[in-house]
Structure 1
Amino acid sequence: MITFILNNKTIKTSENSGMTLLDFARYQQRLTGTKIGCREGDCGACTVLVGTLKNDNVEYQSITSCISPLGNAHGKHIVTVEGTNLQIKLTTAQNAMKSNYATQCGFCTPGFVVALTGFALSNSNHNYENALNAISGNICRCTGYKSIERAANEVVEKLQDKKENTFEWLIQNEFIPDYFKNIPQRLKDIEAKDLDQPKGKYVAGGTDLYVQQADNLIDNSVRLIAEKEYLKGISIKNGSCSIGTNATVSDLWNHSELNSYFPNFKKHLKLVSSEQIRNMASLGGNLVNASPIGDMTIFFLALNSDITVLKPDQSERTLALKDFYQGYKTYDLKEGELLKAISFELPSQQSYFNFEKVSKRTHLDIASVNSAIHISVDNDKISEAHVSVGGVAAIPKYLHETSKFLTGKSLTSKTILEASDILQNEISPISDVRGSSDYKRLLARQLFFAHFTESFPKQFTLNDFVQHA
């Protein structure tokens, strides 16, 4: 029995776990403020909040309910736009949208209101940049967006005096209704145990599977693994990092120690999808999706990561991520096996990591080509190099020959130019909707150069590589 709190109502349902949260809210509960837009997690019209009980407090994140399985709501507090309403007046977020004329047809408005409410509930710094990040997954086709940005700024201004982690302040200042203060105890009281799901397709966040296979998943058994503790967590020890495959990009974003090893971490991660998707998509799902342009796959390939695979008999095996992919959408994972963890050596004072991505729009888009590098330099000599690139082969591509060539060479423009030629021989892009093969070759080359101009700005400029254009 799936048990959770939907707005101010405790729900117990025997509906199929694979049903989408959106369909349950709209068709079973008649909460039609949550809109159906793209059904691919791109437009944000279906945004809801998910509250998770942690250390006697409830932490809220926004997600797109159109690609979230109902079973993932088990033991949580789900908030639709109706659940943000006050009895006789507009909430602060609603009023900000109204006073700034930030709504026209109104179709997108509930998603924006929920996302801004989630921003108010979050523990992030309540500044304008983070407010825009919070609504980054919400699309509006009417207002030109500037009025929405002004509404977000009004919310920011009214949050300046907020005391940390207090529902009371948010209730008093009309951000949320007063029932929120009872949610922590109510979640404790329902004592939701793990759902019994002995068979079916493994589903974590579902952000890719529900785009491709929603009808099949809705009607059949699924094995939801998003809440499995043995697949969670980020551990840093002795210069190494191990990340459970249930971790999300937001988990990486919010991990202060991990950020200390990657100076531009949030800048890189912001290129990955929207906040709603970063909150729900699992890293393991990104790896087994096996997309040739998977952003986090390219990220972890350049870190020369290993992956731990859990076998059906609970034993484990470990292999290099660069050896995992065997062909287009095929990989070394046998029936019943599950990715458990990703591990890698952290950057040191002598090493540099960089991630680059080109897509048709800067954010909220899949890459035409993406690339990453992790390079160690000692006395102007490259002691170790790992380079990856996506969108130029049938698999996420670890550049074996390019990485091997760089290792042991002096860090000079001549070395980089010669390595770029080797890179071109390692890739085999095809022409598709994201660009011609020649265009992708150009991007791969330019992103490779960008790694060095970004990592060593005092040593290299793009002019050093113009002759190779």
Structure 2
Amino acid sequence: MIAFILNNKLIHTHANTSMTLLDFVRYEQRLTGTKIGCREGDCGACSVLVGTLKPDNTIEYHSITSCISPLGNANGKHIVTVEGTNLKNNLTVSQKAMKNNYATQCGFCTPGFVVSLTGFCLSDTEKKQDNALNAISGNICRCTGYKSIEKAANEVCNQLGDKKENTSTEWLIENNFIPDYFKDIPKRLSEIKQEKPTQQNETFVSGGTDLYVQKADSLSEKSIHLISDNSKLKGISIKNNVCTIGAGNVVSDLWNHRELNNYFPNLRKHLKLVSSEQIRNMASLGGNLVNASPIGDMTVFFLALNSSITIIDKNENERNIPLKNFFKNYKIYDLKEGELLKNINFKLPTETSFFNFEKVSKRTHLDIASVNSAIHIITDHQKIKEVHISMGGVAAIPKYLHDTVAFLEGKSLNPELIIEANEILQKEISPISDVRGSSDYKRLLARQLFFTHFTELFPNIFTLNNVIKNG
């Protein structure tokens, strides 16, 4: 049995933990404000908030897409649907902002926008419009047009103001952002007697953002092994210039980590290209690696950092391997039955090293890549001391460019070198034609992204026009 609070109601259920949270909310609880849209986590019509009790007895809320989230991950949490945002005799600030700015037409997507904006109000992020728009980046509207929705988000920001105390639960209740039952949620969650769901199946599921897109129907009828709350797979530590990230951490944990953002000044710019806020709040880093997609954004990211991974078996025996040796063939990797990824380790950038991530997709945001690429390069007086380059969408696996790396190391940075390196790169990749582009198009993208790394990181040496002209 699992137990959680759904809006203002305590739930104890023996429902299959592998069914989707969306189906439980709509069909078991008849809360039909949460809509069924794409069932792939793309449209945001099914958005709900998940509140997790922190050690300081406060609640941290994140928006997720409930259509690809297993019910079992709600255990011990506060789940908020659009019905749970309602006041008794008034509209909330988010609801009123949508109404005032004519930001709804057919209304199908509106509940998801309201939930995501409410999540933004509850978050401790800076209350400016860019962050509000990030919060609704996973919500799609098909008929209204986004300007009115942007105006609604801006109105919410104006109502919040810029004072830190304006994010307290008490202030949000007093000013009609959330209903008053929210103030009792920490105490009520702490009193729930949690029983861990039976974990017997070897189908491990963390966030479910890929598995539930592929086979939600079949998974919903089986027992699964939920690992999203496994504390042994969590945590981010930095010691002796080495970062260790638990495989159970989600992408948003990197987004919110202040120290990592200092080491990677463009980290949020890079991560914004990785799906939507809802998915970043769910998608585990280990899941992205074992999904073994040839275009996995975080896989390409960590390959360029020359990461190693720690693998643990059911007896807690550990082994470490370089990530670039993990992938064997399409969807085939070095992971034995019963083994899990425990963590990811990499050396952090220094004053003489540089990192960049690039991605091209049909849409700038909320889309999978046609080709993506990352580079980590260490220089010494314009000489390449060490370099690591990865690329996705150009082979059957996420590709670490061994030959290109070997060619570049030890040489001086100049446009002619990069042109020659591209010739090595083109021999090293083998893209295929598919719905994301022809093989020729992907080769062109590979060249352009490779050039872009150097024009971004070393603008005083390279300009794109100069590189292309010399090439």
Pairwise same-fold verdict (TM > 0.5): yes
Superposition deviation, residue 271 in structure 1: 0.2
Write out per-residue CA displacement over residues 227-261 of structure 1, whole angstroms, 9 at most, x where no aligned residue.
00000010100000000011111000000001100
Q: Give the whole-Å Cα distance in 2 for the aligned partners of 1:78 and 1:21.
A: 10
Q: Look up the SS of the partner of 2:281 in the other structure.
A: helix
Aligned to 1:250: 252
Aligned to 1:305: 307
Q: Look up the SS of the partner of 1:213 in the other structure.
A: helix
Q: Look up the SS of the partner of 1:190 in the other structure.
A: coil
Q: Give the whole-Å Cα distance in 1 for the aligned partners of 2:394 and 2:162.
A: 49
Q: Give the whole-Å Cα distance in 1 for the aligned partners of 2:203 and 2:2.
A: 18
Write out per-residue CA displacement over residues 141-165 of structure 1, whole angstroms, 9 at most, x where no aligned residue.
1111110110000000001055154
Q: Look up the SS of the partner of 1:395 in the other structure.
A: coil
Query: TM-score normalised to the size of structure 1?
Result: 0.99
Query: Pairwise mapping of residues 185-334 of structure 1 onto structure 2 (< 5 A)?
Result: 185-334=187-336
Aligned to 1:111: 112
Aligned to 1:64: 65
- Alignment partner of 1:179 is 2:159: no
- Number of paired residues? 469
Q: Look up the SS of the partner of 1:154 in the other structure.
A: helix
CA RMSD across the alignment: 0.9
Q: Give the whole-Å Cα distance in 1 for the aligned partners of 2:196 and 2:11.
A: 16
Q: Give the whole-Å Cα distance in 2 for the aligned partners of 1:108 and 1:192.
A: 34
Query: Pairwise mapping of residues 426-441 of structure 1 onto structure 2 (< 5 A)?
Result: 426-441=428-443
Query: For structure 1, which runs of at least 5 residues remain unmatched after alignment?
Result: none
Superposition deviation, residue 46 in structure 1: 0.2
Superposition deviation, residue 193 in structure 1: 4.2
Is the 8 Å Cα contact of residues 202 and 338 (structure 2) preserved in structure 1?
no
Q: Look up the SS of the partner of 1:111 in the other structure.
A: helix
Write out per-residue CA displacement over residues 305-342 of structure 1, whole angstroms, 9 at most, x where no aligned residue.
00100012210000000000000010000111111100
Is the 8 Å Cα contact of residues 200 and 220 (structure 1) preserved in structure 2?
no
Query: Pairwise mapping of residues 360-439 of structure 1 onto structure 2 (< 5 A)?
Result: 360-439=362-441
Query: TM-score normalised to the size of structure 2?
Result: 0.98
Aligned to 2:34: 34
Aligned to 1:7: 7
Aligned to 1:138: 139
Query: For structure 2, which runs of at least 5 residues remain unmatched after alignment?
Result: none
Q: Look up the SS of the partner of 1:3 in the other structure.
A: strand
Is the 8 Å Cα contact of residues 289 and 298 (structure 2) preserved in structure 1?
yes
Superposition deviation, residue 34 in structure 1: 0.1
Q: Give the whole-Å Cα distance in 2 for the aligned partners of 1:346 and 1:316.
A: 23
Aligned to 1:95: 96
Superposition deviation, residue 413 in structure 1: 1.1
Is the 8 Å Cα contact of residues 123 and 164 (structure 1) preserved in structure 2?
no
Q: Look up the SS of the partner of 2:76 in the other structure.
A: coil
Structure 1 vs Structure 2: percent identity of aligned residues?
Answer: 71
Write out per-residue CA displacement over residues 280-324 of structure 1, whole angstroms, 9 at most, x where no aligned residue.
010000001100000000000000000100012210000000000
Superposition deviation, residue 435 in structure 1: 0.5
Q: Look up the SS of the partner of 2:191 in the other structure.
A: helix
Is the 8 Å Cα contact of residues 116 and 135 (structure 1) preserved in structure 2?
yes
Superposition deviation, residue 71 in structure 1: 0.2
Q: Give the whole-Å Cα distance in 2 for the aligned partners of 1:344 and 1:464.
A: 33
Q: Give the whole-Å Cα distance in 1 for the aligned partners of 2:263 and 2:417.
A: 27
Aligned to 2:445: 443
Q: Give the whole-Å Cα distance in 2 for the aligned partners of 1:387 and 1:173.
A: 50
Superposition deviation, residue 399 in structure 1: 0.2
Superposition deviation, residue 37 in structure 1: 0.2
Q: Give the whole-Å Cα distance in 1 for the aligned partners of 2:470 and 2:342.
A: 43
- Alignment partner of 1:76 is 2:103: no
Is the 8 Å Cα contact of residues 305 and 321 (structure 1) preserved in structure 2?
yes
Q: Look up the SS of the partner of 1:141 in the other structure.
A: coil
Q: Give the whole-Å Cα distance in 2 for the aligned partners of 1:194 and 1:417.
A: 57
Q: Give the whole-Å Cα distance in 2 for the aligned partners of 1:98 and 1:301.
A: 46
Q: Give the whole-Å Cα distance in 1 for the aligned partners of 2:24 and 2:202.
A: 20
Q: Give the whole-Å Cα distance in 1 for the aligned partners of 2:285 and 2:216.
A: 20
Q: Look up the SS of the partner of 2:212 in the other structure.
A: helix
Q: Give the whole-Å Cα distance in 1 for the aligned partners of 2:59 and 2:4.
A: 13
